[in-house]
């Protein structure tokens, strides 16, 4: 994936992440049969607005069976607020998604877990739950290098409080 393609995908994904939560709704409520995780997230259905369930972008992808990511090698740019409507980390949701190969994670200024102080260099690491590499975008570089993007077909960006 060259730099131009990365920025095109980033713009597309950012636009999707901004628009999808407001556009996707369902008239019925579904109860997810997810098993409890270590952090015991809230498993109640997402909030309703005027009788319609509002879905986050990751919830829309999941409801669609991750069809747009099937067979893709995925990189995920996310942070602590990157969760689905049940409070499960987007990292974990994509890591267990059938047909999706989540291969790399990218973290912003405060890191994926939000533990780093402001304006402090964040080092590359490994995700404790998945074992996936986490590339810092607030370390030696502020943008992905060609080596970081190597082997990826698509980048998913999940910043729910970006605005």
> Is 120 among the domain residues?
yes
> Is 16 among the domain residues?
yes
pTM of the model: 0.66
Consecutive H or E run containing 103: strand 101-107
Per-residue pLDDT at 130: 95
> What digits encode the pLDDT tens for the residues 84-105?
999 999 999 999 999 999 999 9
Asked if 12 contacts 4 with a C-beta cutoff of 8 angstroms, the reply is no
Both tokens of 81, joined, read 């607020």
> Is 133 among the domain residues?
yes
What is the domain count for the chain?
Answer: 1
> What digits encode the pLDDT tens for the residues 37-63?
444 555 565 555 567 777 889 999 999
> Is 99 among the domain residues?
yes
> Is 163 among the domain residues?
no
Per-residue pLDDT at 138: 84
> Is 89 among the domain residues?
yes
> Is 31 among the domain residues?
no
Q: Which domain holds residue 111?
A: 3-26+38-158
pLDDT higher than 90, residue 11: no
Which has more confidence, 79 or 43?
79
Per-residue pLDDT at 20: 43
Asked if 140 contacts 112 with a C-beta cutoff of 8 angstroms, the reply is no
> Is 72 among the domain residues?
yes
The side-by-side arrangement of strands in the sheet containing 25-26 is 25-26, 52-54, 48-49
> What digits encode the pLDDT tens for the residues 108-162?
877 777 666 676 777 888 999 999 999 988 888 888 999 999 999 999 999 876 5
Provide the CATH number for the domain around residue 10.
3.40.50.12170
């Amino acid at each position: 994936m060259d730099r131009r393609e990365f920025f095109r995908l980033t713009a597309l994904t950012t636009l999707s992440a901004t628009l999808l939560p407001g556009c996707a709704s369902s008239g019925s409520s579904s109860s997810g049969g997810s098993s409890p995780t270590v952090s015991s997230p809230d498993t109640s259905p997402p909030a309703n607005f005027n009788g319609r369930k509002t879905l986050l972008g990751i919830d829309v992808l999941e409801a669609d069976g991750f069809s747009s990511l099937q067979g893709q090698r995925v990189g995920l740019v996310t942070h602590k607020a990157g969760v689905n409507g049940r409070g499960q980390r987007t990292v974990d949701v994509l890591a267990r998604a059938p047909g999706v190969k989540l291969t790399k994670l990218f973290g912003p200024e405060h890191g994926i877990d939000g533990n780093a102080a402001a304006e402090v260099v964040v080092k590359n690491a490994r995700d404790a739950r998945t074992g996936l590499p986490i590339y810092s975008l607030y370390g030696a570089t502020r943008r992905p290098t060609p080596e970081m993007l190597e082997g990826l077909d698509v980048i998913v960006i999940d910043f729910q409080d970006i605005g």
